[in-house]
Amino acid sequence: MTDVTDLFPGFDSHWVDTDVGRIFARVGGNGPPLLLLHGFPQTHVMWHRLAPELSRHFSVVAMDLRGYGWSVAPQSKNGELYTKREMGRDVVTVMEDLGHVRFRICGHDRGGRVGYRLALDHPGHVEKLALLDILPTSQVWKNIREGGTPAAHWAFLSQREPVPETEIKKGPDAYFEGLITGWTQEKSLRCFDARALRQYRDAWGDPSRIHAMCEDYRAGARQDLEADEADLAAGRTIGCPTLVLSGDFFLTRGTGPSGLSVWQQTLAPQAQGGLIDAGHFIAEENPTAVLDALLAFL
């Protein structure tokens, strides 16, 4: 894959063995441990504009989720190995291997879903939680059913194997670049560093990772949704301090309530946060504003 070492100056590379295979993480800095979790269809490289500065204050771990980037992509059926609960177990293994039992998490998109699931399932591990441009999985599916969310890829990617895999393999770059272009504020790829974009292309062009991403969304439509609904029914909420940052586009588009208010009404009643002048990829589109918000919170 593309060498992106220069995007993370002073960071070391680690591969940590888990029950399903090796997970990749980039590690740098000193201070309280901070885990960065990327979203779809990206890799840990999405943090390259924030990680060096954050490493001045924290021991930063930027990890590739299973099925993404340089981490293992286990074969799976019906989303079973790609639930956010399973991915959360990877997080615990990686962080404990690096000497961190309790840590802060900042997650974007799918990484945010792993983070909030871990905070609900294992609150003792999560000291603070920052969620970048996501709604709870249960809320997204509710909005989709009501026609209020521009998230057609959720329904497409969660179809039974091999329907989405077959279509995506016909032109991975065209499919994924079409998605991410539409989710930026400028409706272009200009916000992405060319080196980062090459790494994303390397990853999403791999058939095993196309399958993994589809399994990720299949889990979102089944097991992850069921986990959210069970927590909501039981009245379980996230207990740690929580920050919700949303882009001007994506979460807040449409007639529904803002991202922050949705979290406050559901799984994170004490959440704080606000809007960032950016599209969905706020860490790459407006890193200065995101960094300021994260440092004030973390």
Please tell me which residue in 109, 133, 228, 231 is annotated as part of the active site: 109
Cα 256 from Cα 205, distance rounded (Å): 35
Output the CA–CA distances (angstroms, integers) from residue 253 to 42, 237, 266, in the order listed: 22, 25, 19
| Active-site residue identified among 38, 153, 211, 280 | 280
Output the CA torsion sign for 198, 8, 125, 112: negative
Asked about 280 being catalytic, the answer comes back as yes
Query: Which residues make Cβ contacts (< 8 Å) with residue 269, sequence separation at least 6?
Result: 237
Which residue in the block uniquely carries the two structure tokens 């062009």?
A: 205
Q: How many residues does the chain have?
A: 298
Is residue 241 classed as helix, strand or coil in its secondary structure?
coil
The angle formed by the CA atoms of residues 263, 264 and 266, to the nearest 5 degrees, is 65
User: What SS3 state is found at 150?
Assistant: coil
Q: Which amino acid is at 96?
A: E
What span, in angstroms and rounded, lies between the C-alpha atoms of 74 and 86?
12
The Cα-based distances of 290 to 47, 128, 141, 170, 295 in angstroms read 11, 16, 27, 36, 9
CA distance 70 to 156: 25
Q: Check residue 279 and report its DSSP letter.
A: S
Active site residue 14: no
Catalytic residue positions, numbered = 109, 280
